[in-house]
Amino acid sequence: MDLLSTNAALKAVIMDVAEVAGHIWTKGWGERNGGNITVRITEFATPEWAVMPALSEPIAIGCELPHLKGHYFYAKGTQKRMRDLAREPMANGSVIRICDDFAHYEIIADSPVMPTSELPSHLMVQHYLLSSGSCYKATLHTHPIELVAMSHSQEFLDPHHLTHTLWSMIPETLAFAPLGLGVVPYKVPGSLALGEATLRMIHDYDVVLWEKHGTFAVGKDIMDAFDQTDVLNKAATIYLRARSMGFVPQGMTEEQMEDIKRIFSLPKKRNG
């Protein structure tokens, strides 16, 4: 079934996903099949979705997520490339329905494209967002080159030090990423351990850096999640460019950063 042909609002959301996939590929953040996107699309579902024949057998999530019961998500497919998703999002991803046992999901559209292997991490975070009443609906995992490079230094595995360094590089980083960047020590990609560690960090941060791997971001929509990542990686780029020029960047002073917090009334925790 072609869901987008009869649902203009859903199509707009999926086209945003495609645009972000294109940005990720252009930036070099999505080598081969690297990176994943999941967006909660339940608000666009029609009653027919509940009775649509599944295109797959029920697939185990690996844990029980009761708040996801009856919800629908668009998920990038496993082994699918961002550059291809940018052109054909429904051929390189699928719509899934969480089963009534809230421990399995089924693929319902458009074709039986198996979701990303890191879906458990995405769904665990989506479960937290729903249970906490958050308005955030999108999760993005990608491989921003400069942020990943910084995660290879023990110095920057301290989230407070890393966040302060990034905030000090350019005013926009503090203004548009006021919750900073959490850090998860290296875990096996796609593992429940990675999802659980990410979940603990998402309580306090909108973007989490997976050591020697990539970033995981949440947002009100996929553009929001991408922008958070992009802003932080710009700061990392500035830092590394300065170091490549032979000096440690001075960064903004504490006074200058406090001025930004005051002028923009920046939040200390997530709003919504």
Residues with a known catalytic role: 118
- Contact predicate 80/55, CB 8 Å: no
- Please tell me the distance from the alpha carbon of residue 11 to that of residue 34, in angstroms, as a whole number: 24
- Please tell me the distance from the alpha carbon of residue 139 to that of residue 111, in angstroms, as a whole number: 22
Q: What string of DSSP letters covers 35-71?
A: -EEEEE-GGG--GGGGGSPPSS--EE-SS--GGGTT-
- Contact predicate 38/13, CB 8 Å: no
* Residues with Cβ within 8 Å of residue 140, at least 6 apart in sequence: 20, 35, 36, 37, 215, 216, 217, 218, 219, 222, 225, 226, 229
Looking only at the bridges linking them, the beta strands covering 36-40 and 138-142 are antiparallel
